[in-house]
A = this chain, B = another copy of it.
Amino acid sequence: MLAEIITIGDEILIGQIVDTNSAWMAQELNKIGIKVKQITSVSDDELHILKALQEAESRARVVLITGGLGPTKDDITKKTLAKYFNCRMVFNAAQFEQVTRIFKSFGREVTPINRLQAEVPEACTCIVNKNGTAPGMWFEKGETIFVSMPGVPYEMKGMMSYDILPLLRKKLQTPTILHRTFLTQGVGESMLAQWIEKWEDALPAHIKLAYLPSPGMVRLRLSATGEDAEILENEIAELAVKLYELVGEHIYGEGEITLPHLIQDWFIKNNKTLALAESCTGGSIAHLLTSVAGCSAYFEGGFVSYSNAMKIAKVNVPAELIDSNGVVSEAVAIAMAKETKEKLKTDYALSVTGIAGPDGGSEEKPVGTVWIGISGPEGTFAKHFRFSTDRNRNITHASLSALNLLRKVVLNKLVL
């Protein structure tokens, strides 16, 4: 079962806003077994919109349209839809009542422009907008269902959740699609592809694998399409067992979970505390951890010991250690982790020292060289990493690698 999404309006085409609606709609459609074939953003131009509608109708059974329903002059979606469905505009009393009610609740008067918002193409069934003034419109033409919604994300989401998705589910008898996503950190897409090549080649036709890379991470997503959810779930489960055998050590979790969430869950569950000493990551790890609500239950805080002076005076790293080993070294990473744990009286401490770049590299220690230290009840150790030449990528990679190393130590009882 195929759907298409058409967004109307110049905001997206001039890059003023990023289209987050389509991703959300696609996810929701996927969940009920409808696949999005194409997403098209077109301008507020009648001929262009008509062409896009025609194209979408030729490919899809469901066409979701957002945007162009505002009260201003450049919003022409409704009139264009009336043209496409070859009908006149009519006044919808229920919709006008809704607009009047909303305006009254804000103590505002209804203007002639607002009255226009209650006019809809005669061919449509109106879907009341609980969160705004522009109505949704449901059309059917031959086999295809068209739904037009406002572009304001929270209005569109309300309409989709309460009315459109249930209606689609009822109207269309769709197949089941199950997804399972495996999250890896620290290895590239091509390396993973090589390791799982045979497994991937042997996937049955109704199960697809997607590689979804982002800096420092690759997500592997299996999608199975069929009739029976239980059968699909079992098939995916069997494939997952083999995948874990092949690359399990690089999989840190599944679904939507993040490393900071995983770490927070473990620390709170085990009643342990954590502190940080960040040099080259410069606060990025602390920022990742504190972006998760509830982190104060285990995260004590830390040092952003950017200068050597601060490492010596505040974190307590001996000056001689820096002199003899260099500030980017195993010894300094270990000292930072150990001293931070002791000074802040936590169960664990994580430290990072490295050369983020673009300057500060040498033949022996090029830009991208990073030492990550962990101190815990079992002792202290540090691990060497080598990232790229780009400063911000290095900060991201070092931060995620540090969190993944900490996860391995606490969750997998990794000992180095």
Contacts and interface: CB of A to CB of B under 8 A. Distances in A.
Nearest to A45: B37
B74 A107 contact: no
A305 B301 contact: yes
Contacts of A36: 13-15
Interface in A107-147: 107, 111, 113-114, 131, 133
A277 to B, nearest CB: 10
Contacts of A131: 390
A198 interface: no
A6 to B, nearest CB: 10
Interface stretch (A84-92, A307-315, A404-412): A307-315
B286 A304 contact: yes
Given A114-B190, A200-B73, A152 B22 contact: no
A28 to B, nearest CB: 8
A349 B190 CA distance: 45
Interface string A198-211: 00100000001111
B189 A72 contact: yes
Contacts of A289: 282-283
A210 B300 contact: no
A64 B410 CA distance: 46
B16 A19 contact: no
Contacts of A344: 310, 313-314
B296 A286 contact: no
A18 B16 contact: no
Given A190-B71, A276-B304, A386-B107, A23 B27 contact: no
Nearest to A290: B282
A38 B13 CA distance: 7
B37 A211 contact: no
Count the copies. Answer: 2
B23 A12 contact: yes
Nearest to A395: B291
Tell me if A's interface is mostly helix, strand, loop or mixed: mixed
A23 to B, nearest CB: 4
A212 interface: yes
Interface in A189-236: 189-191, 193-194, 200, 208-215, 219, 221, 223
A393 interface: yes
A42 B36 CA distance: 9
Interface residues of A, number: 108
B282 A287 contact: yes
A284 B282 contact: no
Given A39-B40, A40-B38, A16 B212 contact: yes
Contacts of A15: 22-28, 30, 36
A359 interface: yes
A391 B291 contact: yes
Contact of A211 (B70, B390, B392): B70
A293 interface: yes
A48 interface: yes
Contacts of A242: none
Contacts of A133: 190
Contact of A282 (B38, B291, B303, B309): B291
Given A14-B26, A281-B287, A301-B305, 14 more contacts: A10-B210, A12-B39, A14-B210, A16-B210, A17-B23, A38-B48, A39-B39, A70-B189, A70-B190, A74-B210, A283-B285, A287-B395, A299-B307, A303-B303
The 3 closest A-B pairs by CB, nearest first: A282-B290, A283-B286, A15-B26
29 contacts: A11-B210, A11-B212, A12-B39, A15-B26, A15-B28, A16-B219, A17-B212, A18-B23, A19-B39, A38-B43, A40-B40, A111-B191, A113-B190, A131-B390, A282-B289, A283-B284, A286-B286, A290-B304, A290-B306, A293-B357, A293-B358, A294-B359, A300-B306, A300-B307, A300-B309, A300-B310, A301-B314, A309-B345, A314-B314
